[in-house]
Amino acid sequence: MARTLEQERAALLQDERRVAKRRKQLEDRERDEAIKAVEKAGLLKLDAERIDSLGKRIKALGIAEVEKRLTA
């Protein structure tokens, strides 16, 4: 525990920065994993127009509906 309030504030600020950095690293890793999954599925081989069209359709239907239709 810090001896003064200012030391305690500084320690908390340092902890918050460290947590924010870890959160950003986790977000980056999650994004990289998602891109790898899309690439593995072969979707990155599509031309940009088809990817855009597919994305719009998924957005319009919603993820749950798309999953439901794909498993049917």
Quick: pLDDT tens for 15-52.
999 999 999 999 999 999 999 999 999 998 999 999 99
* Whether the Cβ atoms of residue 1 and residue 8 lie closer than 8 Å to each other: yes
Q: Which two tokens stand for residue 68?
A: 């439901």
3-state secondary structure of 2: coil
Query: Is 80 exceeded by the pLDDT of residue 2?
Result: no
Residue count of the chain, please give it: 72
Q: Quote the CA–CA distance of 63 and 70 in Å, as a whole number.
A: 11
Positive or negative: CA dihedral 37, 42, 45, 50: negative
